[in-house]
Structure 1
Amino acid sequence: MIFSIIFFTISPIYLDTIFAEDKVISGADNKDITYVAKFVCGSIIDDNGPLRPGHYNTDISITNKQLSKISFLWTVSVNDGPTSHSTLMTLDHQKSTGLDCRDIKKVIGLENNTQVGGFVYVTIPQNYNPANPNTVVQYSLDDINLLDVQVFFTANALDTLPHEVVLEKISFYIISDETGKIPKQMIKTTLDVTLNSKLNVISDTERKVKEILSSTYDISENEFDKIEIRIKNVSVGVGSMIDDHAISLSIVKPQVYPQNEK
Structure 2
Amino acid sequence: MSNVLVVGGTRGLGAALVHRYAKQKNTTVYVTSRKEAPKDFPSNVKWITGVDLTQPTCAKTIVSQLSGVELSLVYITAGIFKLESFEKPDWDTEVATYLTSAIAPTFIISALCNNGNLIKKADPPTKIILLSSEAGSLALQQAGGGGNYAHHASKSALNMVGTQLRYDLEPHGIAIGMVHPSFMRTEMTKGVGFDVAWDENDALTPEQAADLVSSWTDDEFGMDKTGQFWAPRGTRDIGSWKDVTGKDHIKGAVQLPW
Give the structure with the higher percent helix.
2
Is the radius of gyration larger for structure 1 or structure 2? 1
User: Which is bigger in relative contact order (C-alpha 8 A, separation at least 6)?
Assistant: 1
Determine which structure has the larger strand proportion and give its number. Answer: 1
Establish whether TM, by shorter chain, passes 0.5. Answer: no
**TM-score normalised over the length of structure 2:** 0.24
TM (norm. structure 1) is 0.24
